Amino acid sequence: THTINKIAAGEVVERPASVVKELVENSIDAKASSITIEIKNGGVDFIRITDNGKGIPKDEVEIAFLRHATSKITSAEDLAHVLSLGFRGEALASIASVAKVELLTKTPNALTGKRIEVEAGQMLHSEEIACPVGTTIIMRQLFYNVPARRAFLKATATETTKIADVVYKLALAHPEVAIKYIQNNKLVFQTAGNYDLKRCVFSLYGKDTAKDTLEMQYEEEGIQVSGLIGLPTLTRANRQYEQFFINGRTVKSNLLQKATEEAYKTLVTIGKFPFVILHLNLPPEEVDVNVHPTKLEVRFSESERVYNAVYNGIRKHLQIENL
């Protein structure tokens, strides 16, 4: 199984940014209200994620590193209704097969926690220890045992940018969680949590951006659309600031992009793009998330309803402000 893990790891673990994404999503699934992300040297040398979530019971820690070990779904039936971010049980196994991993974890009711070290898929060390409730995972030397994949990584600055992209998206996707992001010992941002998307945007993009956005709350035919939408004057030169989240996941969607741009069509200068951070909540069975782990494109079963909810929601909010 060792070789299989190493091969399959390529699917989930493409680069340091994918490690960060998987680990932070685990923390969110564990209901953490606070998560600290630290990276060094483009994340290749060092990634540490600390959360205050529910922890892993001592007797399940080693199991969590086995391929297809997930505590999140118990039947194939569940797949259609997944709301947790992870459900394949691949991330920990994959990461630990291509890096050196140290994990410390404690559940709220346990007196002691557990600390383990895994390298290249091999359990090196395991001990009972005293530690706070929650989980800390440290990953070191990504791809140290797969030189071909390591050689494929981009320059440190590029890998750092890719991680920052992932972390910004996670922070926007989860305004309920206080997220702290530290790059090479320097604090990059810290969000407040408590579902305060406006303050979150303030922390990430600065005061002016937060000032020129409207809060949006809209529901149409069972589809909830909420978030922040920029005034037509707050435009950007590219689509990077049209950000969409569905049930807490970052997604790419031509449909959502189209609905948004059509809603702003007569309002923003041609060639400019709006600033929107939209959260959609809809029944999980109406969105297909069971695609490739690193592909973000979604499919909707009722795309017209989704399009209308976004388009009408944005139009309504922009007009209420009498622009």
Where do contacts with ligand ADP occur on this chain (CB under 6 A)? 22, 26-27, 30, 51, 53-56, 64, 69-72, 86-93, 135
27 or 243: CB nearest ligand ADP:
27
How far is it, in rounded angstroms, from Cα 197 to Cα 174?
A: 9
21 or 279: CB nearest ligand ADP:
21
How far is it, in rounded angstroms, from Cα 83 to Cα 5?
A: 26
Site for Mg ion in 85-114 (CB under 5 A): 86, 91
Strand partners, 276: 229, 242
70 or 160: CB nearest ligand ADP:
70
Is 292 strand, coil or helix? coil
Say whether residue 26 binds Mg ion (CB under 5 A): yes
Contact 321, 232 (CB under 8 A): no
Query: 71 touches which of ligand ADP, Mg ion, none (CB within 5 to 8 A by kind)?
Result: ligand ADP
93 or 259: CB nearest Mg ion:
93
The nearest distance, CB 236 to ligand ADP, in angstroms, is 33
How far is it, in rounded angstroms, from Cα 281 to Cα 247?
A: 5
The nearest distance, CB 149 to Mg ion, in angstroms, is 20
How far is it, in rounded angstroms, from Cα 179 to Cα 33?
A: 8
Tokens 């997930």 correspond to 70
The nearest distance, CB 71 to Mg ion, in angstroms, is 10
How far is it, in rounded angstroms, from Cα 50 to Cα 103?
A: 10
Contact 223, 305 (CB under 8 A): yes
**Looking at beta carbons, which residue is closest to Mg ion?**
86
* Candidates 52-60, 80-88, 198-206, 293-301; binding stretch for Mg ion (CB under 5 A): 80-88
161 or 294: CB nearest Mg ion:
294
The region that residue 304 occupies, defined by phi over 0 for left and psi between -120 and 50 for alpha, beta otherwise, is: alpha
Query: 51 touches which of Mg ion, ligand ADP, none (CB within 5 to 8 A by kind)?
Result: ligand ADP
Strand partners, 119: 100, 122
The nearest distance, CB 146 to ligand ADP, in angstroms, is 19
The nearest distance, CB 253 to ligand ADP, in angstroms, is 23
* Candidates 40-48, 82-90, 112-120, 189-197; binding stretch for Mg ion (CB under 5 A): 82-90
How far is it, in rounded angstroms, from Cα 2 to Cα 122?
A: 9
- Sequence-distant (6+) residues with CB within 8 A of 89 are 66, 67, 68, 69, 70, 72
Rule CB under 5 A: which residues touch Mg ion?
Answer: 26, 86, 91
